Structure 1
Amino acid sequence: MELGREEDRPQFLLDSLTVELLIKVLRDQDLPIITLAECRVVCKKWKAIIDGSELRNKIWNKSVLLYYDECIDNSAYFCFRDGWITRNITLGPKHVVAADGGLLCFNELFSTEYVMYNPVEDKFLTLTVPHEIDRVSTVFDGMLECIMVGLVVDQSTKHFKLVLGGVLVPDRRRSLIYDSSTSKWSWIIHPFPSLLNWMEVEWHSGRCVVCNGCLYWLVWDPRVMIKALLIFDLREETWNVLAEEVMEDKPGALQILAYEGCVCLLAMDWTDVEFDGRGYDGNFLGHPMVRRMDASLIRRTRDLWVMEDGRAFKIYASGGSDVFFVFEQEGEDLEVAKYWAERDMMFFLPEPPFRGAHELHLWGRFPHAIHDPWCVIIPAPGVNAEQEWITQQQRHL
């Protein structure tokens, strides 16, 4: 029997489908997000379709939990409701210093280079701070040092602003801002607030929280026991600071997050505190935009495990109603849970494809090396065409 030639053999059935029909099949069959993500590796045709606007938005349409720890590898793990998507980051060993609106900002200590990354498009944009702005130097010995980094993204226009607060040169009272709508760096006129010991505070700065046109940072000075809430008003481009003395404190004892249009504070010290009794009563609650975290929501996490005395966790949100809980203790399995507001339910997410190695007990030995690898973003599909975004050379799922 004569063997048929390659070109005479029937094509794979799905290869013969038109692009329009294939889009309809993938879009309308209510496939799990993780299945759509896995379909990207079938072939170039499928990858182009799933990365297109009709299906891309279906994958990246809710709050997404991110894990990225450059100390382990250069992979970023994005968690959806029913699975994880892995993206290889080819930007080098940089830290995530800010995140908002689907964009991640990477930077190295003392570097003038800030890299914006959009995981939906898998594209990045490099921003370099000029060594001189308005004839005023920004660097010392070729290095840029600042205390705070903040990012806010306009979801409708996809433009963003990047704020660098407490720039070392010419002094700590100066701040820089980058506006993507003008593609320019400029000095912020209003002076950066001063506390007693910024040289210590800079090592303990947390990632910023964006809420109602303002950026918030929660910082801690261990030498003079001062905790401060820094606030930057994007409309007025002005700084404000609320500070208070604390008798005893430690890194991570107070968490800050944006939730349902407010900035929420949650005490994280479990010492001799009952699970349902956690709270924070400091002066920061006097700010009109700041409130306690919803106690009823925190209590509902009791249903996720059987322990009687409560369990330490980190909590993350991006301004909406969904909340992620990360249970990551030394010697225990890493677990991630989510409160899904649309269904008013809490559940554990699939097991992460990695094991977290971010241990806070190293804080005393390497304070400058501690970076929280977790954050939550609301993806903004697409990037502003006015910037020169570059597609990564390598892509991995």
Structure 2
Amino acid sequence: MELDREVDRPQDLLEPLPVELLIKVLRDQDLPVFTLAECRSVCKKWKEIIDSPELRNKIWNKSVILYDACIDNTAYFCFHDRWITRNITFGPKQVVAADGGLLCFNELFSTEYVMYNPVEDKFLTLNVPHDIDGVSAVLDDKLECIMVGLVVDQSTKHFKLILGGVVVTDRRRSLIYDSTTRTWSWISHPFPTLLNWMEVEWHSGRCVVCNGCLYWLVWDPTVMIKALLIFDLREETWNVLAEEVMEDKPGALQILAYEGYVCLLAMDRTDVEFDRRSYDGNFLRHPMVRRMDGSLIRRTRDLWVMGDARAFKIYASSGSDVFFVYEEVTVDVEVAKYWAERDMMFFLPEPPFRGAPEFRLFGFLPHVIHDPWCVIIPAPGVNAEQEWITQQQRHLL
């Protein structure tokens, strides 16, 4: 019997199958997200099919929680049943803003901002010019700002990047990048001034986007100031609510967007009943702040306590799903999700890493805090007018 020669064997046994049949099998068999992700590595044809809008939406169709391991240059995305690990091959490495499926990476004092679309695994590099409209934005090759915000248009995939509190020669101003014009420009409205921005800037939180406004919650422990900064994207104006607090901790007040509302949640490390406040300042009694809280607390009040009194961080991305991260020094990281569609709470699979509640850089900047967690609602596709680059790597699954 004569053995088949290598050249006589079919190079791809699946090649004769019609594309329509492959799509039907992969789409309609209710395969787990992890299996679909693995199928991307079978061959180029399968990768193109799974990355097409029909199947890509099946993988990235819900809120996704991200852990940004900036120290080892990896990002961990958790879907319904699996964690997926990706190497981040570009620099810088730290997520500073997120919205509409895009992540913005930056490093302290860097003039380079990188937009990353995890659905298509593509990135876009933006560099802040040294001089904008005759005003220097970069001093000694460094750019210092307080706030970073990102807003994505879901229909056009265009975005705006806001840098608040940029240091210029005699004051702080704000910059905005508009991807429709691909230009940086100064915001004319003055940036708000509190008592001591030198400390507040190292405690600035990640931006929350809701109904055309951007919100940041900041806290300055040196002068005990709690502030809610608001930027109206349509009017391009700033507003600020601030109060002095006698005693506070970074996690005592948390902010997130939920079902069209901005919610401010107060807690301490022994009491997680949000409708019985432990944070007792004038800040929470402000009429606007009181209106913010209703939606999230009213809908999920009976689901908060998970059988114990451990403190947690809470994350959402303007939709109805909410994530809870339990991080303690002596306990492994646990992540729970409130699934609004079924009005239920469940724990996600055990993360493939050991998380850290915060990252501190001692010495020159003693108060730098990096929160590695954020949540996104993926928006497949990128704007073709931009020069997006695909990461040259194989994903780690």
Where does 1:89-168 land on structure 2 (aligned, <5 Å)? 89-168=88-167
Structure 1 partner of 2:54: 54
- Say whether the 8 Å CA contact 2:75–2:86 is kept in structure 1: yes
1:377 is the counterpart of 2:376:
yes
Q: Look up the SS of the partner of 2:105 in the other structure.
A: strand
Q: List per-residue Cα deviations over 1:306-350 (Å, max 9, x = no partner).
A: 43xx11111100011100011111110111110111111111111
Deviations 1:123-154 (A, max 9, x none): 11111111111111111112111111100101
Q: What residue in structure 2 maps to residue 346 of structure 1?
A: 345
| TM-score relative to the length of structure 1 | 0.93
Q: Which runs of 5+ in 2 are unaligned?
A: none
More displaced stretch, 339-348 vs 1-10: 1-10
Q: Does the 8 Å contact 2:266/2:274 carry over to 1?
A: no
Q: Paired residue for 1:291?
A: 293
Moved more, 14-23 or 52-61: 14-23
Q: Equivalent of 2:303, from 295, 300, 303?
A: 300
Cross-structure match for 1:252: 251
The separation in 1 between residues aligned to 2:123 and 2:62, in whole angstroms, is: 21
Which SS does the other structure have where 1:96 is aligned?
strand
Shift of 1:395: 3.0
Q: What CA distance in whole angstroms lies between the structure 1 residues aligned with 2:259 and 2:192?
A: 28
Query: 1:342 & 1:228 partners in 2: Cα distance?
Result: 33
Alpha-carbon distance change, 129 to 93 in structure 1, aligned in 2, over 3 angstroms: closer
Report if aligned partners of 1:324, 1:336 keep a CA contact under 8 Å in 2: yes
Say whether the 8 Å CA contact 1:275–1:299 is kept in structure 2.
no
State the alpha-carbon separation in 2 of the partners of residues 5 and 89 from structure 1: 42
Measured after TM superposition, the shift of residue 171 of structure 1 is 3.8
Cα 1:364–1:297 change in 2 (3 A) is farther
Q: Identity of aligned pairs, percent? A: 77
1:175 is paired with a residue whose SS is strand
Match of 1:24 in 2: 24
SS for the counterpart of 2:352 is coil
Contact 1:172 1:192 in 2 (8 A): no
What is the correspondence of 1:212-231 to structure 2 with a 5 Å cutoff?
A: 212-231=211-230
The offset of 1:32, in angstroms, is: 1.5
- The change in CA–CA distance for 1:124 and 1:2 in structure 2 (over 3 A counts) is same
SS in 1 for 2:235: coil
Root-mean-square deviation (CA, aligned residues, Å) is 2.0
* Cα 1:171/1:123, change in 2 over 3 Å: farther
The answer for the alignment partner of 2:187 in structure 1 is 188
Moved more, 44-53 or 332-341: 44-53
Residue 360 of structure 1 deviates from its aligned partner by: 4.2
The code of the aligned residue for 2:208 comes to V
Q: Structure 1 residues 130 and 343, CA, compared in 2 at 3 Å: closer, same or farther? A: same
Change (3 A) 1:171 1:162: farther
| DSSP-derived class of the 1:235 partner | coil
**CA distance 1:196–1:59, change in 2 (3 Å):** same
> In the alignment, is the contact (CA less than 8 A) between 1:266 and 1:278 conserved in 2?
no
Where in structure 1 are there 5+ consecutive unaligned residues? none
**Residues 361, 82 of structure 1: CA spacing in aligned structure 2 closer, same or farther, 3 A cutoff?**
closer
Q: Structure 2 length as normaliser, TM-score? A: 0.93
Deviation for aligned residue 1:291 = 2.0
Matched letter for residue 24 of structure 2: K
Letter aligned with residue 290 of structure 1: M
- Write the distance in 1 (CA, Å) between the matches of 2:310 and 2:298: 15
Q: Following the alignment from structure 1 to structure 2, what is the Cα–Cα distance between the partners of residues 395 and 363?
A: 32
